[in-house]
Structure 1
């Protein structure tokens, strides 16, 4: 075999390998997309009611505050149980603040709570989509929107001004709450934080997916105010606008 034929055969063999690899990659990508679009049914169906799910969060927080933690579902047995699938009983939209570790504060473990955290606990399209997935697909029965004492994002929204990068997108999402609470008596930051909890809860409730679950009695949305000094989460009254 001369050198030209040898080079042609090698080039042809490499091309076939490339095509086969590309086909294989395409199949894997399609399979991954299908798994995201149609996740496997959960193994352990979540049969609690929305009221029961909320009470489980309240009870867990009270255990933590009273130094009576049970640390449920935090061992390796639980890890193997939920590895194939998940059925969280609750979902939380909370602040990204490092002082708000949701599973610890509510005394829960692996697979119990579907948590979305973002500065200012704002309901962005991505957060709303995530919580639609956590409720409609995974079966969480309660969504708690949790704001906290002395929230830096809320303070920045109150102070105003130009902020670098994308930080301003967070404060812009909070400003309507600041405006609605500015004439209230008392601590203006605490008032704005609570108004922001209600604002973001209303944005979640405006989701057709989430609203339908609420109408069917399969889900409820509540607001929680987290006290950094005591670790207690206070359930605050809501004012629904949608």
Structure 2
């Protein structure tokens, strides 16, 4: 986060008063979502925009005003900036295997919304997620994973239980759990107190879900 390591924390009011480095990133929640999905269409079709990193370096050194926040899986095959055809300064990305809310993730997203004024959060899951697969295995077979990996499967267990309660087709279980996990974390973020919930209630923030298809690169909106 710009300036946090090199200088004392700057209050949200002071940051809001400064000129943003990218005026085009000041968007409504609906416009932000539309921009994300148009970027994904370019990515899927192979018509991504040319990035000139040198030309934006000076402006971004002065601050940041991303137009969207993402809670993404840490999977190396999923790159939010790539799949939405965006550049540095456009997306405020948090990542953890299994794309679920932790206290540190929540604090980071509150910073993205409350301080940086991003109007959109997307919880971005993906197909063939190893964390989801491990959570299903742990739930079904009581598998114990080494180190701290078990903490991930424990956090994802409620999504497995909720999906299984609907008695899905076994062939669709992985997808159903992935989508259930996305929805549960969307709900958690939208209702988090006090910052995110108030922004949602005021119409200043929208929380959405996305499912990244590894085979095609397309992001399916999850409601």
TM-score range, shorter chain: 0.7 to 0.9
Secondary structure in 1 matching 2:86 = coil
SS in 1 for 2:121: strand
Cα distance change on mapping 1:95 and 1:210 into 2, 3 Å: same
Are residues 224 and 34 of structure 1, via their aligned partners in 2, closer, same or farther at CA, if it must alter by over 3 Å?
A: closer
Matches within 5 A, 1:66-81: 66-71=45-50, 74-81=52-59
Equivalent residue number for residue 172 of structure 1: 154
Identify which of 34, 42, 51 aligns with 1:63. 42
Q: Deviation at 1:107?
A: 0.3
Task: Give unpaired runs (5+ residues) of structure 1.
Answer: 1-30, 238-242
Report the Cα offset of residue 133 of structure 1: 0.4
Partner of residue 215, structure 1: 201
**Unpaired stretches in structure 2, ≥5 consecutive residues:** 1-5
Q: CA deviation at 1:232?
A: 0.2
TM-score by length of 1: 0.80
Please, which moves more after superposition, 90-99 or 199-208? 199-208
Give TM-score scaled by structure 2 length: 0.87
Matched, 1:43 2:27: no
Deviation at 1:35, TM superposition (A): 3.7
* Equivalences for residues 79-158 of structure 1 within 5 A: 79-158=57-136
Higher relative contact order (CA 8 A, sep 6+): 2
Q: Which structure is larger by alpha-carbon Rg, 1 or 2?
A: 1
Query: Deviation per CA, 1:161-183, whole angstroms, max 9, x where unpaired?
Result: 11112111111111100111111
| 1:184 aligned to which of 157, 168, 186 | 168
Match of 2:187 in 1: 202
* Residue 159 of structure 1: aligned partner: 137
Residue 200 of structure 1: how far off its partner (Å): 1.2
Q: Could you give the per-residue CA deviations for residues 93-132 of structure 1, whole angstroms, max 9, x where no partner exists?
A: 0000000111011000010000001100010000011000
Kept in 1: contact 2:12–2:114 (CA 8 A): no
For the 8 Å contact 1:71–1:109, the answer to whether it is kept is: no
How many residue pairs align between the two structures? 206
Label 1:197 to 1:49 Cα distance change in 2 as closer, same or farther (>3 A). same
Contact 1:50 1:219 survives alignment (8 Å): yes
Query: Would the aligned equivalents of 1:149 and 1:225 in 2 still touch at CA under 8 Å?
Result: yes
Instruction: Compute the displacement of 1:36 (Å).
Output: 7.5
Alpha-carbon distance between aligned partners in 2 of 1:196 and 1:231, rounded to the nearest angstrom: 20
- Tell me how far apart the structure 2 counterparts of residues 57 and 108 of structure 1 sit (CA, whole Å): 8
Distance across 1 between alignment mates of 2:207 and 2:26? 18
